Amino acid sequence: MRFEEIILKHLQDLAEHEKAEVLNFIEYLQAKTEKKERSDWTTFSLSSAMRDMEAEDAPYSLDDLKESSS
């Protein structure tokens, strides 16, 4: 028996408020998965964008960061 079939079999025996809890949990799992996928994609995008940048010469030095009194 496949997972879906087992879950549906158990779901049929639950009261309506318990079915609502199952639905809430499913939606939670989906949101958690989507958040992880977005995080993975963001990390990948940032690492791709920053690739080889550490080899570039910095256009500014630490002295450029000091506040000047004009």
Q: What does DSSP assign to residue 61? A: -
> 10-46, pLDDT tens digit by residue?
999 999 999 999 999 999 999 988 887 777 777 778 7
> 3-20, pLDDT tens digit by residue?
999 999 999 999 999 999
> 51-65, pLDDT tens digit by residue?
777 777 777 777 777
pLDDT of residue 7: 93
SS3 readout for 28-53: HHHHHHHHHHHHHHHHHHHHHHHCCH
Distances (CA, A) of 6 to 1, 10, 20, 24: 7, 6, 18, 19
CA distance 70 to 64: 14
CA distance 23 to 49: 39
pLDDT of residue 68: 67
